Chains A and B, each alone.
Chain A
Amino acid sequence: MSERGAKLIKGATDAWEVVIGMEVHAQVLSEAKLFSGAATAFGADPNSQVSFVDAAMPGMLPVINRKCVEQAVRTGLGLKAKINHRSQFDRKNYFYPDLPAGYQISQYKQPIVGEGEVTIDLPGGETRQIGIERLHLEQDAGKSLHDQRPEHSYVDLNRAGVALMEIVTKPDMRGSDEAAAFLRKLRTIVRYLGTCDGNMDEGSMRADVNISVRRPGEPYGTRCEIKNVNSMRFIAQAVEYEARRQVDILESGGSIRQETRLFDPRAGETRAMRSKEEAHDYRYFPDPDLLPLELSPAWINEIARSLPELPDQKKVRFIGLGLSSYDAAVLVAEKETADYFEAMLAEDAEPKAAANWLNNEVFGRLNKAGVSVLASPVSPAQNAAILRLLKDNVISGKIAKDLLDIVWDEGGDPYVIVNARGLRQMSDASAIERMVDAVIKAHPDKVEEVRKKPKLTGWFVGQVMKQSGGKANPQAVNDIVKARLGIGGQG
């Protein structure tokens, strides 16, 4: 899958292929931490969500949170991955003040989830498969605060012990667009599954991106790991910058040093992280406080049965309803959006019209207002009603948009509003003829002009529509204008 010419980037002398793999840390949606009963809410006062276990008090022991295990299995199933019936927690030993026990409990040799795959959607409706290497459960660390007082550092352990899923991909991505598309798709999947809220702003999803370049057909080049890239936009920027950096080095005869780099969003560049004085030796070994995690096939099946319809399945179903691949992909990208669309269908909206209406009118307004689809002031039923009025030629397209604005601002039943405010479309030919005649009479100069430039018919139509307050049936107006001006064919 590497020989795809379209993805190559041009250096001074050669064309290069970018190879990208990713490690995504996704915070498990759970009320409690991975091994302690402490709460996990974001933004709580420092050290207010810390149990004796999280603070690594003497004699405290971890106990696995069943909910977190279930969430990991659910995610694995959503990634079409192998669920390992037996996995093991290991200790990763290192000293740091935000790691109270002096070790992180993670899964090293035997992760809970093995190989799987994610289908990513690329522009133009193209799709690609990205391999998943593994998913494992581990604890998050706390947070060191160095900016509270100049002479002190503080530690906030609220995050310490929170469950994370580390999802590792194969080096299957070949460009910044694919990297961003993968992360977007992964986010969509975990949000559908309800296993991670995907809030990148709050750090619920963080990605480390491994990037290398090679000439097509060569073995993989030396990779650099870009740490903590925490937005879709930054991922694309980081990949672009880093790939270019590596190509420049290689083409000028240099070699890539395997290292960890940090993306600086302000400068739009990656920088080598200060190299640690001593190489880390994490001294992994199985955590003797925890038994191997054994999952019964029956329990895994039970979770599998409870899985919701996932975006890929939904997309296929939507395409089956007559939607374009693009429209379907946009609608399924957020579960709430897809649900909203389906709620409109339940109100008998025609699928294609509903998809267009949402993508062209409703989502734009929501984005502009910074309102989520869940908080939309216009309900699916109200939208469906507007579309029905449009379809039945009760209102014009222009009025439909106005009506949407009215319902948005004031609420109410679209039928009642149309009747109460006289928004019904005027299709009465004689009334339209009178208006057309009046416009023609008032603008002899334009009549003269339109003989030479038939395109000007549109101006007449516009004037009539204006006079009718948008209520005239635009098609009827167009026909009558042409007939009166004696213009045939296309206006």
Chain B
Amino acid sequence: MIGLTDFTMAEARDALRARTVSASELTHAFISAIEGARCLNAFVTETPERALDMARQSDTRIARGDARPLEGLPLAIKDLFCTKGVRTTAGSKILNNFVPPYESTVSQNLWDAGAVMLGKTNMDEFAMGSSNETSHFGPVINPWRAGNSNRNLVPGGSSGGSAAAVAGQLCLAATGTDTGGSIRQPAAVSGIVGLKPTYGRCSRWGIVAFASSLDQAGPMTRTVRDAAILLRHMASVDEKDSTSVDVPVADYEEGLDGGVKGLRIGIPKEYRIDGAPPEIEALWHRGAEWLKGQGAEIVDVSLAHTKFALPAYYIVAPAEASSNLARYDGVRYGHRAANTHDLTDLYERSRAEGFGAEVRRRVLVGTYVLSAGYYDAYYVRAQKVRTLIKRDFEQAFETCDVLLTPATPGAAFAIGEKSDDPVSMYLNDVFTVPVNLAGLPAISVPAGLSETGLPLGLQVIGRAFDEATVLRAGRAIEVAAHFGATPKKWWAA
């Protein structure tokens, strides 16, 4: 039997419009699902009363024939988005009790479109991580398990709570943010769709900053169509964010099924990396064949500076983070150490107690690379690399329309498996990071299962502000892949 939580967002929308289900019923179903899945630790804060209140208002509007585009659709919000009156932690102890008196532009856009908030999802602390293990609120558990195993796996990160909530059918869709892969990587290893829009497409106002020149909000959904719908209502130019860009937001759903006939698909040779499992290479190849089968043209391209992307990223992102996180000092809000004896002690202990190990590591790295005497060797050089990577993409897009790559170098791994080795953890983002450095849009679409029965994703990268083509190609993969797999609800047993 199909339950209410089995709906895709588009199906739920249509059901609400047809009044075969009410927003309150739908919301109740998800609240129960969340309650039954607390062992996944996907949510930091649940807001059931607020959700039901919003759902009732949606039902009133639907009854009046006054429904907005996302009317009554229950969503989860990554705990990096400030939500007015609802605790916003960024996964950190230092913001353990922080309740913003303002609403982020992206979430406000969603509420203005009629969506319902179920709660705030768990995440790596300050979005720093690829496994959701750095959260102050504990790791999130991936709804997926390998065949024949009861081992808990990570959902990826940093938007791990959002990924698990969508994959575990605890919400119709969720918001994520992506600085180096934090939407696409968890989407890939959790068997859902994740879209990182072009830098500047969604406002960053009210999103706790990690690395300002890379951070971008995007949708995490069960289908490409849902991503198209949600993106349209997240995106906006915002006078409060100088880096948001005034390019009209299209109705991405409209052209979704336009197909890929005649589309030139670039295959970047540098994305064949040593040590990647053969199944990743095979999946990639299969993806290209699918698109070719639908009339696309496959083109070999080169992104020559790809191998410098990860090192450059791990200079630029920590540098910006070290500065962005300076405001968490225990003076005005957030965690303040007790019994401090002077100002320096207050700073040092509040921050040492408030930040976890990974955040401290990146603040130290960032502080180091910006220091006098090192700035030119690290930060300036990394920015030059960034320019070269951007140029690589521009040149590639002279001969192709989108790029097809694997989303991750492997499937979900076990909790604790990589947490002692930061570098191996950082390698999770090898395919996603260059896209952030270049500010381009990219989607991860579930495309198959690994040998052990875990989801794997393919990534489609597009030209700046060409989310429409990225979604269309993503949809073509989705159609060809017939993915359809969902995790067994072992937690609900």
Q: Which residues of A contact B (CB under 8 A)?
A: 52, 55-64, 91, 93, 95, 97, 100-103, 155, 281, 283-285, 288-291
Whether the Cβ atoms of A58 and B242 lie closer than 8 Å is no
Q: Given A103-B323, A291-B243, does the pair A60, B205 have CB atoms closer than 8 Å?
A: yes
Q: Given A58-B327, A61-B242, A285-B379, does the pair A95, B347 have CB atoms closer than 8 Å?
A: yes
Whether the Cβ atoms of A63 and B240 lie closer than 8 Å is yes
Closest to B346 in A: A97
Leading 8 A-B pairs by shortest Cβ distance: A102-B326, A283-B370, A288-B213, A288-B212, A56-B327, A59-B206, A58-B208, A59-B82
Closest to A282 in B: B372
Closest to B366 in A: A283
- Residue count of chain B within 8 Å CB distance of chain A: 43
Whether the Cβ atoms of A97 and B343 lie closer than 8 Å is yes
Instruction: Report Cα–Cα, A389/B81, bound state, in Å.
Output: 76
Instruction: Report Cα–Cα, A55/B243, bound state, in Å.
Output: 21
B63 CB, min distance to chain A CBs, angstroms: 35
Name A283's contact: one of B88, B240, B343, B367 (CB within 8 Å): B367
20 contacts across the A-B interface (CB closer than 8 A): A55-B332, A56-B327, A58-B100, A58-B209, A59-B82, A59-B104, A59-B209, A60-B206, A62-B242, A64-B242, A95-B326, A100-B331, A102-B329, A155-B331, A281-B371, A283-B370, A284-B370, A285-B379, A289-B242, A291-B243
Whether the Cβ atoms of A59 and B100 lie closer than 8 Å is yes
B92 CB, min distance to chain A CBs, angstroms: 10
Instruction: Report Cα–Cα, A221/B234, bound state, in Å.
Output: 60
* Residue B442 CB within 8 A of the other chain: no
8 Å CB interface, B320-365 against A: 320, 322-323, 325-327, 329, 331-333, 343, 347
Query: For chain A, what secondary structure do more than half of its interface residues adopt (helix, strand, loop), or is it mixed?
Result: loop
* B87-99 to A contact mask, C-beta < 8 Å, 1/0: 0101000010010
Which of B104, B209, B211, B326 gathers the greatest number of chain A CB atoms within 10 Å?
Answer: B326
Q: Given A95-B326, A102-B327, A283-B367, does the pair A56, B204 have CB atoms closer than 8 Å?
A: no
B27 CB, min distance to chain A CBs, angstroms: 27
* Residue B290 CB within 8 A of the other chain: no
Instruction: Report Cα–Cα, A485/B239, bound state, in Å.
Output: 89
Name A100's contact: one of B102, B327, B343, B371 (CB within 8 Å): B327
Residues of chain B contacted by A100 (CB below 8 angstroms): 327, 331-332
Instruction: Report Cα–Cα, A443/B325, bound state, in Å.
Output: 94
Instruction: Report Cα–Cα, A100/B333, bound state, in Å.
Output: 11
Instruction: Report Cα–Cα, A283/B378, bound state, in Å.
Output: 12
A97 CB, min distance to chain B CBs, angstroms: 5
B86 CB, min distance to chain A CBs, angstroms: 13
Residues of chain A contacted by B205 (CB below 8 angstroms): 59-61
* Residue B101 CB within 8 A of the other chain: yes
Q: Which residues of B contact A (CB under 8 A)?
A: 81-82, 88, 90, 95, 98, 100-102, 104, 204-209, 211-213, 239-243, 319-320, 322-323, 325-327, 329, 331-333, 343, 347, 367, 370-372, 375, 379
Instruction: Report Cα–Cα, A59/B207, bound state, in Å.
Output: 5
B355 CB, min distance to chain A CBs, angstroms: 13
A349 CB, min distance to chain B CBs, angstroms: 52
Instruction: Report Cα–Cα, A93/B322, bound state, in Å.
Output: 9
- Known A56-B332, A59-B207; 12 more pairs at CB < 8 Å: A56-B327, A57-B333, A58-B90, A61-B204, A61-B241, A62-B242, A63-B240, A283-B322, A283-B372, A285-B375, A285-B379, A290-B242
Residues of chain A contacted by B212 (CB below 8 angstroms): 288-289
Q: Given A55-B332, A63-B240, A64-B242, does the pair A101, B327 have CB atoms closer than 8 Å?
A: yes
Residues of chain A contacted by B371 (CB below 8 angstroms): 281, 283
Q: Given A58-B90, A63-B239, A155-B331, does the pair A52, B102 have CB atoms closer than 8 Å?
A: yes
A290 CB, min distance to chain B CBs, angstroms: 6
Instruction: Report Cα–Cα, A62/B239, bound state, in Å.
Output: 10
Instruction: Report Cα–Cα, A125/B371, bound state, in Å.
Output: 50
Residues of chain B contacted by A93 (CB below 8 angstroms): 322-323, 326, 370
Instruction: Report Cα–Cα, A102/B204, bound state, in Å.
Output: 20
Residues of chain B contacted by A95 (CB below 8 angstroms): 326, 329, 347
Whether the Cβ atoms of A57 and B323 lie closer than 8 Å is no
Instruction: Report Cα–Cα, A56/B343, bound state, in Å.
Output: 19
Instruction: Report Cα–Cα, A268/B232, bound state, in Å.
Output: 66
Residues of chain B contacted by A63 (CB below 8 angstroms): 239-242
Residues of chain A contacted by B88 (CB below 8 angstroms): 58
